[in-house]
Amino acid sequence: MRTGERRAVYVRMVRPVFVFLILAVVVSSSSKPTERKSRVHHEEPLSALEHDDQKNFDYDHEAFLGQEEAKTFEQLTPEESQRRLGIIVDKIDTNRDGFVSEEELKAWIKNAQRKHISGSVEHQWKDFDLNGDGRISWEEYKNVTYGSYLDDPPKESEYNYTHMMLRDERRFRVADRNGDLIADKQEFTAFLHPEEHEYMKDVVVQETIEDIDKNGDGFIDLKEYIGDMYISENGEKEPEWVATERQQFSEFRDKNKDGKMDKEETMDWILPSDYDHAEAEARHLLHESDANQDGKLSKKEILDKHEVFVGSQVTDFGEALLRHDEF
Ligand SMILES: *[C@@H]1O[C@H](CO)[C@@H](O)[C@H](O)[C@H]1NC(C)=O
Ligand SMILES: *[C@@H]1O[C@H](CO)[C@@H](O)[C@H](O)[C@H]1NC(C)=O
Ligand SMILES: [Ca+2]
Ligand SMILES: [Ca+2]
Ligand SMILES: [Ca+2]
């Protein structure tokens, strides 16, 4: 099956829950073998876009504004984009001391992320709530997601839809806290975005281990860990980062040094409690724009670095770089 076809089937059959998986599939199939595959169930990033400021600030824009707003800004003239950024700066400065602190920035980014998640749930809601009663039963979800497969099972398929459906059902049952097999908005949000919910962490870890654990012993050993990120081509010399990952595994991931990751060690890996995307992004934005290095941002500092925070019609950093390369 060609990549395009595979993606089409994938999107049609399992779009809702497997958004991250699709991304991983698309990314890995289009990238060179030596590139790092993105993990299926890492803590939800602030944006699905790659974070590489050498190329563009698209990730920062989505983290700062949310996906929808980021798109809106790209349609604006540079003047209008900066005018609105100025208004936003006033909103971020909640204690009104005239500066944006790292904490204020972090709270703003967290809020953008929350809005993005609830927006994406709202967006999908109508598709699943077939009887329009304001709740989504497992039967409704199953019907919409796997209906065409159940009606007419393909004779051959790259994916085991029965397996995926059972997995979805297991996750749905965990999200469904009151056990009526019907999800209200909160429960459905936990189902679609489990990484954001404490009580979903175990099932996320379980799914991750199942994905990577090829010999089925319930653990991730070094070979499986590396195999999940890197498949060596014939005769290719192992790239540097793979060696680094091996070392990471032995030194940090496998904490009790028994040569494999158990549930707890896997949890520390994919959902580290000491790492917060919003905090990291706030620190990053501060670092990028704090011209006088006093640890807080004036409106002028932010506007001087507007391209880091928001896009606009003309100011396309990526394009500028391209042009630079050409001439
Ligand atoms: C799915 O829902 C449609 C519309 O409500 C219904 O006609 C159909 O029988 C359902 N299919 C399955 C497999 O539940
Ligand atoms: C598909 O998955 C189901 C449930 O995990 C399993 O029972 C079945 O054997 C699998 N089928 C194939 C063809 O692997
Ligand atoms: Ca319920
Ligand atoms: Ca271990
Ligand atoms: Ca400053």
Under a CB-based contact definition with an 8 Å cutoff, are residues 152 and 105 in contact? no
Q: Which ligand is nearest to the CA of 293?
A: 5
Q: What is the mean pLDDT of residues 75-93?
A: 96
The best mutation among 159, 162, 165 to test binding of ligand 2, ranked by most ligand atoms within 8 Å of the C-beta, falls on 162
Where does the pLDDT of residue 170 fall: very low under 50, low under 70, confident under 90, or very high at 90 and above?
Answer: very high
Pick from 267, 275, 278: nearest CA to 114: 278
Mapped onto helix, strand or coil, the DSSP state of residue 260 is strand
pLDDT > 90? residue 201: yes
Which of residues 7 and 264 earns the better pLDDT score?
Answer: 264
Task: Please tell me if the CB atom of residue 157 comes closer than 6 angstroms to any atom of ligand 2.
Answer: no
Under a CB-based contact definition with an 8 Å cutoff, are residues 82 and 74 in contact? no
pLDDT > 80? residue 78: yes
pLDDT > 90? residue 105: yes
Q: What is the mean pLDDT of residues 170-192?
A: 97
The answer to whether residue 325 sits within a structural domain is no
User: What are the pLDDT digits (tens) for 107-149?
Assistant: 999 999 998 899 889 999 999 999 999 999 999 999 999 998 8
The answer to whether residue 310 sits within a structural domain is yes
The answer to whether residue 56 sits within a structural domain is yes
The answer to whether residue 29 sits within a structural domain is yes
Cα(164) to ligand 2 centroid in Å equals: 9
Q: What is the mean pLDDT of residues 181-188?
A: 97
pLDDT at 44: 59
Where does the pLDDT of residue 25 fall: very low under 50, low under 70, confident under 90, or very high at 90 and above?
Answer: very low
Residue whose CA lies nearest to ligand 1 atom number 10: 143
The answer to whether residue 309 sits within a structural domain is yes
For the chain, the domain total comes to 1
Task: Please tell me if the CB atom of residue 166 comes closer than 6 angstroms to any atom of ligand 2.
Answer: yes
pLDDT > 80? residue 40: no
The answer to whether residue 165 sits within a structural domain is yes
Residue whose CA lies nearest to ligand 1 atom number 2: 143
User: What are the pLDDT digits (tens) for 219-273?
Assistant: 999 999 999 998 888 888 889 999 999 999 999 999 999 999 999 999 999 998 8
Cα(310) to ligand 2 centroid in Å equals: 47
pLDDT > 60? residue 16: no
By the CB criterion, residues less than 5 angstroms from ion ligand 3 are 176, 178, 180, 182
- How does the average pLDDT of the chain come out, rounded? 83
The answer to whether residue 60 sits within a structural domain is yes
End-to-end CA distance of the chain: 41
Quote the pTM value: 0.73
Task: Please tell me if the CB atom of residue 130 comes closer than 6 angstroms to any atom of ligand 1.
Answer: yes
The best mutation among 146, 163, 206, 207 to test binding of ligand 2, ranked by most ligand atoms within 8 Å of the C-beta, falls on 163
Residue whose CA lies nearest to ligand 1 atom number 5: 130
Task: Please tell me if the CB atom of residue 162 comes closer than 6 angstroms to any atom of ligand 2.
Answer: yes
The answer to whether residue 327 sits within a structural domain is no
pLDDT at 314: 67
Residue whose CA lies nearest to ligand 1 atom number 12: 143
> Which of 32-46, 72-86, 101-115, 203-217 is predicted least confidently?
32-46
Where does the pLDDT of residue 291 fall: very low under 50, low under 70, confident under 90, or very high at 90 and above?
Answer: very high
Q: Which ligand is nearest to the CA of 301?
A: 5
Range of the domain at 250: 3-320
Cα(102) to ligand 1 centroid in Å equals: 50
